[in-house]
Amino acid sequence: MKKTLTTCPYCGTGCALYLLTDDNGRLVGTEPSAAHPVNRGSLCAKGWNAHAFVNHPDRLTTPLVRRNGRLEPASWEEALAAVVEGIRKVQATHGCDAAMFLSSAKATNEENYLLMKLARAVFGTNNVDHCARLCHASTVVGLAEAFGSGAMTNTVACIDAADVILVTGSNPTEQHPIIGARILEAQRRGARLIVADSRRIRLARFAEIHIRHRNGADVALVNAMMHVILREGLEDKEFLAARTEGEGALREALADWTPERAAAVTGVPASEIEAAARLFAGAKNAMIVYAMGITQHTRGVDNVRALASLALLTGQVGRPGAGVNPLRGQNNVQGACDMGALPNVLTGYQSVADQAAREKFAAAWGVELPKTKGLTSTEAMNAAADGSVKAFFILGENPVLSDPDQAHVRRALGNLDFLVVQDIFPTATTELADVVLPAGCYAEKEGTFTNTERRVQRVTKAAEPPGEARADGEILCALAEAAGYKGMRYRGAEEVMAEIASLTPLYGGISHERLDYTGLHWPCPDEAHPGTPVLHLGTFTRGRARLTPVEWRPPAEETDEDYPFLLTTGRTAVHWHTGTMTRRTHLLDREEPVPFVELHPEDASRLGIAARQDVLVATRRGEVRARALLTETVRPGLLFMPFHFAEGAANALTVNALDPEAKIPEFKVCAASIRRAP
């Protein structure tokens, strides 16, 4: 059997694995890399099965073009011409910004770079975004403001050096299993755990303190923790004086945030908040780990600001073993952000409003670039619904199942003049497309992914794409040619990375050749630079870190008589997002084959709902049928649903309410009802 070393295509942990191919070049299995510093010989169930969907018979193998209302096979030439004509036609009538481009955190850095280059250089618009908008957009805004960089401050290995770990709104044993396991190892060695999550997640069982606060109440909780720290003089005065600004305003704002006041908002006893504050502030090395429970709120940025302030107040940033650590979700969501698949920045967070940056790219690409920042994906969906955006190009995303309020998304996409989807499988979104382009998956191409700790790693080809499918990067370059642009001719992904490095200080020293076995952490400004595992040592990226006081505000939708339950949505260990890959992986799908909703047994008995019975969950947006899973993981009054199932789509229920700054939707709270299905 042939072994090809590559990077796992599922989560941002970025485990290294071998793809095993037989004599016929077919993928037959995976194996962990024993020497890799992140996974050290382990994989989770998804990594062990990462080969399984690649050969699935449902793979898209030929371009499809809609004729007389039906998607029919077409030649590449015809499909590419149809894409260029469809977008150009919309732009000719309605302007360049009537087209929207969605990039993919499942695709490589090189492919994300090519997509945003296609949008900007060939189609003249900054309307480019990707699923980070639904995920860590709040982090990118909040941490960039506080520290000057919106990425994880520390590394996975830093977990080993922490003696207190605060995990909030993150379920790492299921969502980042190799990181979750490392946290458990640290706990076994004596690190003390604080979990703040309304659900009793697996880590909570090992936590010294498990705070089960009301969803959407994080600002109140963290403000009160900071209030206690200041009241008891537990703050790091030296660090505050030397490395931060804004202390005065923060102190003033926190004066009223007594734990008693927070208790009323969070439902958590004041004594528990005090205990958590003392434990955190008393640590030598305290690390904060967070994810979607913090970011996916209409006050997601404020949640992030509060956590950044907590770390700064106690001097827990800019050292190994500490830091503010947003666990990034998709395998390459960090990279897709770094590559400028965002409406306001080019690669490496160089603003489109910065004339010097724009001129640098214009010179390299040989075209003028658009100056005004583009639309976010969530704004573009609203614009499609109201008719001001007319064409979408979607690379490796499935918004019909992953965006909030499915009825709204269907209305929006249905309203378009032209929709292109480039995917590896047929999805709920390809069903609506005018043109479908079949792509090669991670196992079928070369390139790089950047993991959650900013480690840029190799992706290596182990098999050929099925049928006529082609790697995403090849398709994007062919599209540029079809559109008459000559500046996207490359001999391979390596040459694309060389162009990225030449335009991007953060990636300046990165080349495929250098990445070798374990990759490099950015910032890596030049070829001699060893990479930067821990950020903000000595000084913050922005100089002094900024403390920004925040006030708690309730979520967009609160419970009432008709919708008395609070519904929160998220994930499970075996499935991946919209299920396109894991539901085609037998060993994973058989674990959780049907849509379900977690419900507390007390609520169930009050409503006459038996275990595993079908129920109807409803919100102001819609109603969904699912199986009742009776469990004390949720508190009474709380429902939890994963969004992995097309036939029981959680996003038919969620609310399309956005954070005003990050434009991230409030996936984590809405009001719902539940009853027995007839």
Return the structure tokens found at 416.
């378009």
Cβ closest to ligand MGD, residue 33 vs residue 173: 173
Rounded to an integer, what distance in angstroms lies between the CA atom of residue 228 and that of residue 284?
A: 18
Locus of tokens 């129920």 = 615
CB 476 within 8 A of CB 496: no
Rounding to the nearest 10 degrees, give the CA dihedral for residues 496, 502, 505, 507.
Answer: 30
Rounded to an integer, what distance in angstroms lies between the CA atom of residue 137 and that of residue 6?
A: 28
Return the structure tokens found at 524.
């890596």
CB 265 within 8 A of CB 299: no
Among residues 106, 136, 176, 512, the one that binds ligand SF4 under rule CB under 6 A = 176
Residue 456 β-bridge partners = 450, 520
Among residues 148, 329, 340, 396, the one that binds Mo ion under rule CB under 5 A = 329
If one asks whether residue 332 binds ligand SF4 (CB under 6 A), the answer comes out as no
Compute the least distance from the CB of residue 571 to Mo ion, in Å.
Answer: 9
Compute the least distance from the CB of residue 519 to ligand MGD, in Å.
Answer: 19
Compute the least distance from the CB of residue 130 to ligand MGD, in Å.
Answer: 8
Stretch of 53-61, 172-180, 550-558, 657-665 contacting ligand SF4, by CB under 6 A:
172-180
Q: Phi first, then psi: what are they for 494, rounded to 5°?
A: -60, -40
Identify which of 445, 143, 419 has the alpha carbon closest to the alpha carbon of residue 301. 143
Rounding to the nearest 10 degrees, give the CA dihedral for residues 591, 596, 601, 606.
Answer: -150
Give residues 21-80 in contact with ligand MGD (rule: CB under 6 A): none
If one asks whether residue 43 binds ligand SF4 (CB under 6 A), the answer comes out as yes
If one asks whether residue 171 binds ligand MGD (CB under 6 A), the answer comes out as yes
Q: Which does 210 bind (CB under 5 to 8 A by kind): Mo ion, ligand SF4, ligand MGD, none?
A: none
Cβ closest to ligand MGD, residue 12 vs residue 533: 12
Cβ closest to Mo ion, residue 169 vs residue 315: 169
If one asks whether residue 135 binds Mo ion (CB under 5 A), the answer comes out as yes
Among residues 63, 142, 321, 396, the one that binds ligand MGD under rule CB under 6 A = 396
Among residues 113, 280, 349, 576, the one that binds ligand MGD under rule CB under 6 A = 576
Q: How many residues bind ligand SF4 (CB under 6 A)?
A: 14
* 3-state per-residue secondary structure call for 187-237: HHCCCEEEEECCCCCHHHHHCCEEECCCCCCHHHHHHHHHHHHHHCCCCCH
- Rg, the chain, Cα only: 24
Compute the least distance from the CB of residue 539 to ligand SF4, in Å.
Answer: 32
Rounded to an integer, what distance in angstroms lies between the CA atom of residue 126 and that of residue 96?
A: 9
Cβ closest to ligand SF4, residue 15 vs residue 341: 15
Cβ closest to ligand MGD, residue 107 vs residue 281: 107
If one asks whether residue 47 binds ligand SF4 (CB under 6 A), the answer comes out as yes
Stretch of 267-275, 329-337, 396-404, 435-443 contacting Mo ion, by CB under 5 A:
329-337
If one asks whether residue 422 binds ligand MGD (CB under 6 A), the answer comes out as yes
Among residues 165, 166, 184, 201, the one that binds ligand MGD under rule CB under 6 A = 201
Compute the least distance from the CB of residue 526 to ligand MGD, in Å.
Answer: 30
If one asks whether residue 519 binds ligand SF4 (CB under 6 A), the answer comes out as no
Dihedral sign for Cα atoms in the order 112, 133, 401, 644: positive
Return the structure tokens found at 184.
């458990």
If one asks whether residue 266 binds ligand MGD (CB under 6 A), the answer comes out as no
What letter does residue 465 receive in the DSSP assignment? P
Locus of tokens 């500490």 = 322
Rounded to an integer, what distance in angstroms lies between the CA atom of residue 399 and that of residue 381?
A: 9
- Written as one letter, the residue type at 627 is R
What letter does residue 120 receive in the DSSP assignment? I
Q: Which does 171 bind (CB under 5 to 8 A by kind): Mo ion, ligand SF4, ligand MGD, none?
A: ligand MGD
Cβ closest to ligand SF4, residue 180 vs residue 246: 180
If one asks whether residue 436 binds ligand MGD (CB under 6 A), the answer comes out as no
Stretch of 346-354, 359-367, 377-385, 423-431 contacting ligand MGD, by CB under 6 A:
423-431
If one asks whether residue 211 binds ligand SF4 (CB under 6 A), the answer comes out as no
Quickly list DSSP for 276-334. HHHHHHT-SSEEEEE-HHHHSSTTHHHHHHHHHHHHHHTT-SSSTT-EEEE---BTTHH
Q: Which does 654 bind (CB under 5 to 8 A by kind): Mo ion, ligand MGD, ligand SF4, none?
A: ligand MGD
If one asks whether residue 54 binds ligand SF4 (CB under 6 A), the answer comes out as no
Stretch of 372-380, 477-485, 570-578, 604-612 contacting ligand MGD, by CB under 6 A:
570-578
Rounded to an integer, what distance in angstroms lies between the CA atom of residue 218 and that of residue 290?
A: 12
Contact letters (x/-) for ligand MGD, 469-488, by CB under 6 A?
A: ---x----------------
Compute the least distance from the CB of residue 436 to ligand SF4, in Å.
Answer: 27
Residue 639 β-bridge partners = 567
CB 50 within 8 A of CB 17: yes
Which residues contribute to the site for ligand SF4 (CB under 6 A)?
A: 8, 10-11, 13-15, 39, 43-44, 46-47, 176-178
Which residues contribute to the site for Mo ion (CB under 5 A)?
A: 135, 329
